Amino acid sequence: MKENLKAFGSIINIRQILIGLTVLLLGTLIYVVDRPPNQTYFVYKSFVNISLHNILPNLFGFVGNSLPSFVHVFSFIFITAGLLQCQKKGYIIICSSCFLTDFIFELGQKFNSLFLKIIPSWFESIPLLENAKSYFFYGTFDFIDLFAITTGTVIAYFILLATNKSKNRMMV
């Protein structure tokens, strides 16, 4: 399989995109198996019952509480980096941006009254954004989540470097 495809005048790294999508897909198991369906937006909004909560045993235990924070930042760093043509400096920008975004969202769960005030009411009529208020209102701030976000960012950066060798950057 060719590792890179040319799209929109730049090279995309298929390996990085697949790593990001695979980790993101595996991360959905946390929500489908370990969490009650009424606590997960995409599970209770799905057209069919995809929840395996109380059907399968808890797969992730205590780690499942903060693993989504790791998975989210790691996956989106990889998907973004795989789609953009960049090198080390670009990876630092992508990692920093994703880290700050996730970090701010986690802090928004701690200081939710501020975040709830600035979410516009028109979000309620847009799919996915309609859940923004619930995310901050019901979300739980955790220092372990901040650690997971930090760890996911650092690990993603080093794996990005390893998956961006010159042999992986050939143009099609």
Task: Look at 11 and 102; give whichever has higher pLDDT.
Answer: 102
Assess if residue 98 is contained within a domain.
Answer: yes
Assess if residue 53 is contained within a domain.
Answer: yes
Assess if residue 2 is contained within a domain.
Answer: no
pTM reported for the whole predicted model? 0.82
Number of domains in the chain: 1
**Contact assessment for residue 68 and residue 27, using Cβ atoms and an 8 Å cutoff:** yes
Q: Residue 12: pLDDT above 80? A: yes
Q: Quick: pLDDT tens for 28-75.
A: 888 887 677 776 666 656 666 766 667 778 778 888 889 999 999 999
| Per-residue pLDDT band at 6 (split at 50, 70, 90) | low
Q: Quick: pLDDT tens for 79-125.
A: 999 999 788 999 999 999 999 999 999 999 999 888 999 898 898 88
For residue 41, the one-letter residue type is Y
